[in-house]
Amino acid sequence: MAQSSTLLGFVHRRRRGAELFLLVLALLVGVGAYAAVGIGVEGKVPADIVGYGGWLAALVIAAHVVVRVVAPYADPVLLPVVAALNGLGLAVIHRLDLAYETDGRDSTPSGFAQQQLIWMTLGVLLFVAALIILRDHRTLQRFTYTSGLGAILLLLLPMVPGLGKTINGARIWIGVGPFSFQPGEVAKVLLVVAFAGYLVLHRDALALAGRRVVFIDLPRGRDLGPILGMWLVSLGILVFQRDLGSSLLFFGLFLVTLYVATERPGWLVVGSAMFLGGAALAYELFGHVAVRVNVWLNPLYYYDDKHGALSYQPVEAMFGMGWGGLIGRGFGEGSPERVPYANSDFILSSIGEELGLTAVIAVILCYGLIVERALRAALVCRDGFGKLLATGLAAVFALQVFVVIGGVTSLIPLTGLTTPFLSYGGSSLVANWVIIALLLRISDQARRPVPDLSGSDDDAEADSEATQVVKVQ
């Protein structure tokens, strides 16, 4: 075929036609859900369905055209899955907007769906810019230490007096006039770049085994500096910013990339022990940490207590998801607006109540697909930096989804992170669209055939791991 070529046993296909077909299905999910909300809540198809559907389709098709032109060998599944999640999230946020307008509480704002669509537009624009400007992901390796420094500064910004804002007990926001921004969302991207660049250069030293304890090779004491530093950073976020989710996300991100780079399980043992020990210490020393853990362990006990505001969210979410059952009550037949911040932190409980456990499982499978395709890009990538970068971005999604869904379902203590592409929140949405652009760039570079390998020892060495015939789709 004209769009296929063979490289050392790998069969490379552009698969842009398959991506376009999947994008049509994704648009049917988003626009169909928006229409279903109007029918279920108001008894008619929304009057702006043509304008809304056209705007959404224009964004998605524009992203597809750019991928087709500048990254023709990129993974064909990532963009459609993201478009489906984003479209479903917009429909659920619109459903909650309608509920807020009719529940009689004038203090509850609405119009979040329109704002989210604007944030999606900005996210797609940055997605396009990232793909056009960044033609080779290895360029990012030059900014290893710059990215690390930038991430640290962004994490410290909420602590600046007059600039940082405390929302729902967590000081993870900065405010400029009427606008709020969560710098940690950008910091997580910069941290992935910094970790990947650092570990490519120092993984040999970090891979050296130290003392053997219970059949596990623990790292040498002199090599514990990086993990000790990240442990202190994560504890600082937990204690001073009161954000368990970001603390777990950043430390887990570093631990996963460190393990992948060194292939030493001892790092996982040491890192897990340090995080659990630090969390236990914070529980004993700081009251706000203890309150969150106690409410998590006994939410119904604290429901009418002085900490009822913290337990009200998870309890109402559990009631709603229990009411939804397997297939849900249908759009307009539930009361998801009873859960505070249902359009952001607890949007999954809204989906569980009105679309049921089946839809929740489908959403989790979509996130699983994103992580799987990111790890696939890491496996076929030809350079070490790209492998670690793709693995780190996959870990970001996996850890964030685990932390959010775990908090909503009371598997772990409640956190303030957003569900990627579903929840209302401009900072998260824009940052996650950029992450998808980076993953598509890495997969395009990995799947793109090299014109001439016959006289290049460097290329032959780079592809020496390609020893089997694998069909990459």
Tell me the C-alpha distance between 388 and 258, whole Å. Answer: 9
pTM, full prediction = 0.87
Report which of residues 12 and 470 the model is more confident about: 12
Residue type at 194 in one-letter notation: A
Tell me the per-residue pLDDT of 373-407, one tens digit each, with 9 for 90 and over.
Answer: 999 999 999 899 999 999 999 999 999 999 899 88
Tell me the C-alpha distance between 273 and 266, whole Å. Answer: 11
The pLDDT-based confidence of 466 (bands split at 50, 70, 90) is very low
- pLDDT value of residue 415: 73
Instruction: Assess if residue 465 is contained within a domain.
Output: no
Instruction: Assess if residue 52 is contained within a domain.
Output: yes
pLDDT at 79 over 90: yes
- pLDDT value of residue 220: 65
Q: Is 176 helix (H, G, I), strand (E, B) or coil?
A: strand
Q: For 197-201, 213-217, 222-226, 297-301, which range has the lowest pLDDT when averaged over its residues?
A: 213-217
Instruction: Assess if residue 376 is contained within a domain.
Output: yes
Report which of residues 342 and 58 the model is more confident about: 58
Residue type at 2 in one-letter notation: A
Mean pLDDT of 14-41: 93
Tell me the C-alpha distance between 93 and 196, whole Å. Answer: 35
Q: Whose structure tokens read 């009200």?
A: 312
pLDDT at 236 over 70: yes
Instruction: Assess if residue 455 is contained within a domain.
Output: no
Instruction: Assess if residue 432 is contained within a domain.
Output: yes
- DSSP at 425: -
The pLDDT-based confidence of 217 (bands split at 50, 70, 90) is low
Q: In 3D, which of 405, 331, 329 has the Cα closest to residue 365?
A: 405
Helices (H), 219-341: 225-240, 244-262, 265-285, 287-297, 308-324
Q: What share of the chain is helix, strand, coil (3-state, %, to 5)?
A: 70, 5, 25
Q: In which domain, by residue range, is 395 found?
A: 15-102+110-448
The pLDDT-based confidence of 461 (bands split at 50, 70, 90) is very low
Tell me the per-residue pLDDT of 333-373, one tens digit each, with 9 for 90 and over.
Answer: 888 988 888 888 889 999 999 999 999 999 999 999 999 99
Instruction: Assess if residue 1 is contained within a domain.
Output: no
pLDDT at 315 over 80: yes
Mean pLDDT of 220-228: 67
Tell me the per-residue pLDDT of 94-106, one tens digit each, with 9 for 90 and over.
Answer: 999 999 887 655 4
Tell me the per-residue pLDDT of 183-197, one tens digit each, with 9 for 90 and over.
Answer: 888 888 998 998 898
Mean pLDDT of 175-180: 70
- The DSSP H or E segment spanning 146 is helix 144-156
Instruction: Assess if residue 460 is contained within a domain.
Output: no
Mean pLDDT of 446-452: 75
Query: Most confidently modeled of 151-155, 298-302, 314-318, 351-355?
Result: 351-355
Instruction: Assess if residue 126 is contained within a domain.
Output: yes
Q: Taking each helix axis from N to C terminus, what angle separates 347-380 and 78-102, rounded to the nearest 10 degrees?
A: 170
* 10-13 and 209-213 strand pairing: unpaired
Q: Is 101 helix (H, G, I), strand (E, B) or coil?
A: helix
Token pair belonging to 432:
């996650």
Number of domains in the chain: 1
- pLDDT value of residue 473: 38
